[in-house]
A and B are shown apart, each in its own frame.
Chain A
Amino acid sequence: MLIIALGLYRLLSPSTAHYPPAGQGWAAVQADFDRASDQLSGILAVERERSRPETVALVERNLAIIDAAIAESRAALARDPASAELRRLFAAAARQKVELLRWAARVAAS
């Protein structure tokens, strides 16, 4: 839970406007995102049966959309790792994914 909290803090807080430079700091942000995303996906998988089928379908449809967007951003970042704009767009998409997962987990648990 601590990892999720840290990941969410780093991805969702307004301080993400100040993206660290490419290198160790940025790699840590991406790793935080991956961890938070994996943890929330795990929670969602456990809670899945408690969700309405239409909610599950909606979440899965939008997860596919956002995963594709994140994959595109990652590929572009691999080609141009120093781009502040790409980091910004990646962070925005990552935030959206974490928020979607968090929302879906909350709905399933309610």
Chain B
Amino acid sequence: MRIMKGCLVLWLALLARQATAQARIDERWPLDPGGSVRIASPFGSIRVLGWDADSVAVSARLERPAGRISAAGDAHVRTLGVDTAAGGAELEVHVPRGATVWVKSATANIAIEGVDGTLDLSSQGGSIRVIGTPQDVTAETMDGAVEVAGGTARARVKTVSGDILLRGASQDLGASTLSGRIVVRAAGWQRGGTGVQRGKFESVTGDVRFEGELGRGGVVEVESQSGTIEVRVPASTVADFDALTIGGTITNHLGSAQPKPRAAGMGQELRFSSGAAGSGAQITARSFKGPILLEPK
């Protein structure tokens, strides 16, 4: 019994110490509905939420009490920074829905929800996740994963080795990775989108998979050095397909057309139209030595 009491006292003491070792900060400033918010926080996590209020509200928990959050700016631009003395910081920031948001981190994971303005997000090693319908998204991370879900007018995503997942009803998409995997799940008009109007997806060794619907006249380019390229579109898609691989193979299940050896001697190529040529979308796939698969969705 005495041992149990001792353990309880020790646990409570540790809990109290941990509670005092962390610092909690809550602040709020006015911000225009279309104002800008710039956030720099190296470690921990950063969560930005859009709300229907003309203000920026920050709720932060700093790992070390020595750390500080700096805030500067006015109702047009608000800059928030967490210094490295804070160790990790769990940051939750509410911004007006239409705000422009810029976030930079070292390893902190970045999550954005419900912001309709322009997003510019970068991290060295943290993941980036965007949910909602922002006007424009730029996201870069070295080895973190990136997910953009919902729908954007324009998205540009770049990683070194992080995987990229783009899903939803977006129009203009671009994704580039060296060794990560790219997956695109594009929703069509029946889910509120127009299908992809423009898409460019490229990797060096990572696999690239495009799955979804193209807008009428949409143009999608997929390129990889050695990753597998997979294009899955509805069988009813009207498009011109143009696939070429130098050292890989092409497999087509979107019709009867079959690849033939390239005129230059190495590799395979396949060109066909699933409707009147030039009347629909355009899909181009280029690979150095990875396989190319064309499949019905």
Contacts and interface: CB of A to CB of B under 8 A. Distances in A.
Interface in A51-73: 54-55, 58-59, 61-62, 65-66, 69, 72-73
A89 B160 contact: no
Nearest to B269: A85
Contacts of A92: 202, 204, 223, 225
Please tell me the size bucket of the interface on B: 20 to 34
Interface residues of A, number: 26
A103 interface: yes
B226 A58 contact: no
Interface string B183-202: 00000000000000000001
A45 interface: no
B204 A107 contact: no
B125 interface: yes
Contact of B288 (A72, A100, A103): A72
B225 A69 contact: yes
A80 B160 contact: no
B182 interface: no
Nearest to A80: B264
B288 A83 contact: no
A89 B286 contact: yes
10 contacts: A58-B161, A62-B161, A65-B204, A66-B178, A69-B205, A76-B247, A83-B264, A85-B244, A93-B204, A99-B158
A93 B125 CA distance: 22
Nearest 7 interchain pairs by C-beta: A69-B225, A89-B288, A69-B204, A62-B178, A62-B160, A96-B178, A58-B143
Contacts of B223: 88-89, 92
Contacts, number: 70
B244 A62 contact: no
Interface of A: 54-55, 58-59, 61-62, 65-66, 69, 72-73, 76, 79-80, 83, 85-86, 88-89, 92-93, 96, 99-100, 103, 107
B227 to A, nearest CB: 10
B109 interface: no
B252 interface: no
Contact of B226 (A55, A69, A83): A69
Interface in B261-297: 264-266, 286, 288-289
Contacts of A62: 160-161, 178-179
Residue among B140, B247, B266 with max Cβ neighbours from chain A (10 Å): B266
B225 A89 contact: yes
Contacts of B244: 85
B246 A86 contact: yes
Given A55-B124, A58-B161, A96-B178, A66 B204 contact: yes
Contacts of B179: 62, 65
B176 interface: yes
B199 to A, nearest CB: 16
A63 B205 CA distance: 12
A72 B247 CA distance: 11
Nearest to B266: A80
Nearest to B140: A103
